[in-house]
Chains A and B, each alone.
Chain A
Amino acid sequence: MTAILETRGLSRNFGGLKAVTDVDFTLEAGEIRAVIGPNGAGKTTFVGLISGRVAPSAGTILFEGADISHLPAFRRVRLGIAYTFQITSIYAKLTVAENVDLASHQRGTTDTRSCLEQVGLGDRASQVAGTLAYGHQRLLEVAMGLALRPKLLILDEPTQGLSDGEIDNFIELVRTLSKRATVLLIEHNMPVVMSLAHRITVLDRGSILAEGTPEAIRANPAVQAAYLGTADA
């Protein structure tokens, strides 16, 4: 297996606060990796560093072997790193289809319809995005991510606000998708993590606390102490 993404000594401080500290992280092409950790552990900051939304204080990021540490975010997107925001970020005044069009046009494709159908929003194409239920807005984000035809898709808490039925569909969607793309999934919902992730990385206070298969992580006492014991799942 080959690494699609690698970080070395990756750090980010906000003033005195160390949000991400010295993270060495490797992601294999084709895997589904879950990143879990308590609130404020630095998960969003960590993927922000990878996607280019947040500038690193130190360290390097390699994507397919090339150093992307100093590339602006939009270039990383073009290289194949797509990011769906934790705090929903859509074009509220545009229609659902127009939202996804903006993504597919950037790639020069006409994937909009199929992307909307994959996430289950096929019948809402002409609805104004801002009027969608919250969970559906999350799915719209995912559809935009798909339309970018990413090699690496970063999903920051995508199932927030979804119903149980929608979560089941979502799990299926990520499985199908992982045949085409590597998936980096930040998720608080443990059943989702356990059923999807090949491996799990646990972040705590900006550092990697543990990493391994779902079974190993579940059995890890340090993880239980830091996280699972207080999990909201």
Chain B
Amino acid sequence: MTARIVLLHLAVLLLLFALQFIASDYVILTLTRIMVLAVYASGYNLLFGYSGLLSLGHAMFFATGLYAAAIGTTRAGLSVPEAFLAATLIGVVVSSIMGVIVLRARGVGFMIVTLMFSQAAFLTVLYFGDYTRGDEGIVILDTIRIFSFLGRTIDLTDPLLRYNLALALLAILVALILVLVRSRFGHVLVAIRENEDRTAMLGYDVARYKFIAFVISGTLSAVSGATYALMFAYAGSTLASIQYSIHPLLWTLLGGASTTLGPMLGTGVMFLLVDFASGFTNVSLLITGAVLIALVLFFPKGILGSIRQRYLKWLP
């Protein structure tokens, strides 16, 4: 059972590794983006899918990482690895502070509070336009993105290197999520999702579990944001907007909430859909909305959730 699960995840990662030898430049770039954003979606899924907390404000954590990395490299004189590390730590701090505040709310209240804080964060980005350059955005120069690390020259403008770095990050994430959700900790998160009262009456400190899940989720979002900024050399306010809070929800729902590979798959499929549809229309938001409605109405378990229900009961 466990071997089967590990093999499946390894196979997915190996497939992604092999793809770089046959894929076109465009596909490589798209897949890199998908992998980086899949980290965001998976972090979101830990909170939404496994713990049952629907946040409408995760863009604030994605943006935290994004801007920490962009401002860190362009203004604070940090190297790329330093900026990445700083962005991760700031992600921990910001999600801890937010966690203390927003986890006081439950259910719809939680959705509203996260949404409001995220909007406030978005407006903050615009307000401090001198530093963030608003929706025009910060561009990270190539001179910064080519750096030496542990005696080697790393060139983040090299698409294949970026692809493999994104894949490495994804591999770490997949391992982390897999271990988490199959651990006692993960089981308690699911228990809280299924029946919070009962879980407290079994002696679990529900608030503490939720807080830890929230911080991990927010930090992974920040890591994704930082990677996004550093790899694609850009941080703009659109990436902090409500749209980017809805995206991970949509990707997770599409691929299958509370499945380990669902968010990744959902991110990929959604990219394909938008790509395909951009042949006829340039309103990607419309497609996003349509898919969201269709999912909720007809397909609430998403792709992998449905497959698990019908065929592969062992899918984690």
Q: Residues of A with Cβ closer than 8 Å to B?
A: 51, 53, 72-74, 77-78, 82-83, 85, 89-94, 98, 101-103, 105-107, 144, 148
Contacts and interface: CB of A to CB of B under 8 A. Distances in A.
Contacts of A89: 195, 197-198, 201
A106 B198 contact: no
Determine chain B's interface SS by DSSP, over half rule.
helix
Given A74-B206, A102-B187, A102-B191, A91 B198 contact: yes
A91 B201 contact: no
A101 B201 CA distance: 14
Nearest to A88: B198
Nearest to B190: A94
Contacts of B199: 102
Contacts of A148: 202-203
A73 B199 CA distance: 10
B203 A78 contact: yes
B184 interface: yes
20 contacts: A51-B201, A72-B200, A72-B205, A73-B201, A74-B200, A74-B203, A74-B206, A77-B201, A77-B202, A82-B201, A85-B198, A85-B201, A90-B195, A91-B195, A92-B194, A102-B188, A106-B203, A106-B204, A107-B203, A148-B203
Nearest to A93: B194
A106 B202 contact: yes
A101 B190 CA distance: 13
A29 B194 CA distance: 34
B84 to A, nearest CB: 36
Contacts of A73: 200-201
Contacts of A94: 190-191, 194
Nearest to A77: B203
Contact of B204 (A74, A82, A83, A92): A74
A92 B191 CA distance: 10
Contacts of A90: 195, 198
Contacts of A101: 187
A53 B201 contact: yes
Contacts of A72: 200, 205
Contacts of B205: 72, 74
Interface residues of B, number: 17
B103 to A, nearest CB: 15
B1 to A, nearest CB: 14
Given A74-B204, A94-B190, A105-B184, 15 more contacts: A53-B197, A73-B200, A77-B202, A85-B197, A85-B201, A89-B198, A89-B201, A90-B195, A91-B194, A92-B194, A94-B191, A94-B194, A102-B191, A106-B204, A148-B203
Residue from A73, A77, A78, A102 having most chain B Cβ neighbours under 10 A: A102
Contacts of A107: 203
A57 B60 CA distance: 40
Nearest to B198: A89
B315 to A, nearest CB: 15
B161 to A, nearest CB: 44
A205 B107 CA distance: 34
Interface in B198-218: 198-206
A106 B199 CA distance: 10
A106 B184 CA distance: 9
Contacts of A82: 201
Contacts of A144: 202
A94 to B, nearest CB: 7
Interface centre among B190, B200, B201, B204 (most CB of A within 10 A): B201
A93 B193 CA distance: 11
The 8 closest A-B pairs by CB, nearest first: A77-B203, A89-B198, A106-B203, A91-B194, A78-B203, A103-B202, A74-B200, A74-B203
B50 to A, nearest CB: 13
Nearest to B184: A105
A45 to B, nearest CB: 15
Contacts of B194: 91-94
A90 B197 CA distance: 10
B191 A91 contact: yes
Interface in B163-187: 184, 187
A75 to B, nearest CB: 8
A3 B188 CA distance: 34
Nearest to A147: B202
A18 B139 CA distance: 65
Contacts of A53: 197, 201
A107 B204 CA distance: 10
Contacts of B200: 72-74, 77
A101 B188 CA distance: 10
A102 B186 CA distance: 11
A144 B200 CA distance: 13
Contacts of B191: 91, 94, 102
